[in-house]
Structure 1
Amino acid sequence: MLRLLTLCLAVMALLSACGPVYETQYSLIPPNSAEGRLCVNQCQQNRNFCRQNCGLNQQACVNEARSRALYEYQSYVNRQQAEKKPIKKSVSDFDRSYSCGNSSCEARCEADYRDCFGGSCGGQVIARTVCTAFCDQEKPAPVPAAAPRLSPMTPGAAQSPVQSPAMSNNSGGYPAGASLCQPGMRVEVEWKGEWYPATVKDKPRKDGRCPIHYDDFGSEDDESVSLRRIRPR
């Protein structure tokens, strides 16, 4: 009884030490034009194809892991029999198919779909961070500082135009990153919140996406990304 009570107290202490857990949720607002909606349909088809590939790759991984488990188990049995030792392990002890998860692959399909939806089709992708666990320990948001007062403009003084974020990085009116999508350009590409070094393979495609190669990965990970995911290195 004392051990059970101690265990319960330890679990409660561990849970109380955990901070709030957050996740990013997305709201997608489709484009108004018929062309944009057709584009979204194509994005959905690409996502479905991506998910199917994830499932096929996962099944291939499981099959390979189980075949290797059988091979390793048989090798173990042969060694034990040769040394006249008891066989204490089973095939499941060598099975590592549990490592064949496809959550990262599915997440990549969803990220590509959002890029296609918002970057190529003109839809709106609204991200918001929500608390999903231990929210009672969430710290209150800091009170924003008061905005500074602006002094009156001197009569006759010219007011500088305000540029939108998409126009601030270039003067041609193209989305941020368009000037970076040139063959051989060394850039950084965002994937799941992290930035990775990459090299541009070709000029932008007709849908506006930029073909890139990740410098630290093989050619099988090459992809065409939304211009908003590119920044100079």
Structure 2
Amino acid sequence: MDFGSKPSLIGPLLCLAVPLFTACETTHYEYSPPHSDQGRICVTQCAGVRETCRNTEMQRAQWEKSGCEHRQETTYHACMARADTKDETRACAKKRGSCWANEDTSRCENDYRECFVTCGGHIRTYIE
């Protein structure tokens, strides 16, 4: 779900900018579910917790963006109220920035993997 946020380009840019100093890695996971019915029910509960965590993080990012937009508008209107000349009016408009926030669901995914294993599942990690 996208709330007007911009995707982070920091990782890919660092991979391009600093190839001599660091290696860029991609991690993939292969999930093997538990064999027991109880383990599979447990994993289903883990997935529900992960989805709640993701939704909370997306909502946090949306609130952060909305808060930024509100602060930007308040600052802009205060500036315009003080502006006496066209140059000052243009300066107010130039100060307007854009607002965005990225959701970070990495904690949700880490917690899910830990829960998955606790339920009896196995995860193979592949780093490329």
Same fold, TM-score > 0.5, yes or no: yes
- In structure 2, relative to structure 1, the CA distance for the partners of 1:27 and 1:66 (3 Å cut) is same
User: Greater RCO between the two (CA within 8 Å, min separation 6)?
Assistant: 2
Q: After superposition, where does 1:23-62 map in structure 2 within 5 Å?
A: 23-62=26-65
Percentage of identical aligned residues: 28
- The SS at the match of 1:43 is helix
In structure 2, distance between residues paired with 1:64 and 1:91: 20
- In structure 2, relative to structure 1, the CA distance for the partners of 1:30 and 1:37 (3 Å cut) is same
In structure 2, distance between residues paired with 1:16 and 1:91: 30
Q: After superposition, where does 1:2-151 map in structure 2 within 5 Å?
A: 18-19=19-20, 20-81=23-84, 84-86=85-87, 87-88=89-90, 89-90=92-93, 93-95=96-98, 97-98=99-100, 100-102=101-103, 104=104, 106-118=105-117, 120-130=118-128
- In structure 2, relative to structure 1, the CA distance for the partners of 1:17 and 1:51 (3 Å cut) is closer
CA drift at 1:71: 0.5
In structure 2, distance between residues paired with 1:60 and 1:32: 41
> Which residue identity does 1:123 align to in structure 2?
G
> Which residue identity does 1:124 align to in structure 2?
H
In structure 2, distance between residues paired with 1:40 and 1:31: 8
In structure 2, distance between residues paired with 1:76 and 1:16: 39
Structure with the bigger percentage of helix? 2
In structure 2, distance between residues paired with 1:65 and 1:17: 32
In structure 2, distance between residues paired with 1:66 and 1:27: 40
1:194 match: none
TM-score, normalized by length of structure 2? 0.75
CA drift at 1:93: 2.0
CA drift at 1:34: 0.6
Which blocks of at least 5 consecutive residues in structure 2 are unaligned?
A: 1-15
In structure 2, distance between residues paired with 1:30 and 1:76: 58
CA drift at 1:125: 1.4
Deviating 4+ runs (over 4 angstroms): none
CA drift at 1:35: 0.5
In structure 2, distance between residues paired with 1:57 and 1:29: 32
- In structure 2, relative to structure 1, the CA distance for the partners of 1:91 and 1:52 (3 Å cut) is farther
> Which residue identity does 2:102 align to in structure 1?
G
Q: Please list the CA deviations of residues 46-84 of structure 1 after superposition, one character each: whole Å capped at 9, or x if unmatched.
A: 111111111111111111111000001112212322xx3
Structure with the bigger percentage of strand? 1
In structure 1, distance between residues paired with 2:94 and 2:106: 32
Bigger radius of gyration among the two: 1
Which blocks of at least 5 consecutive residues in structure 1 are unaligned?
A: 1-14, 131-233
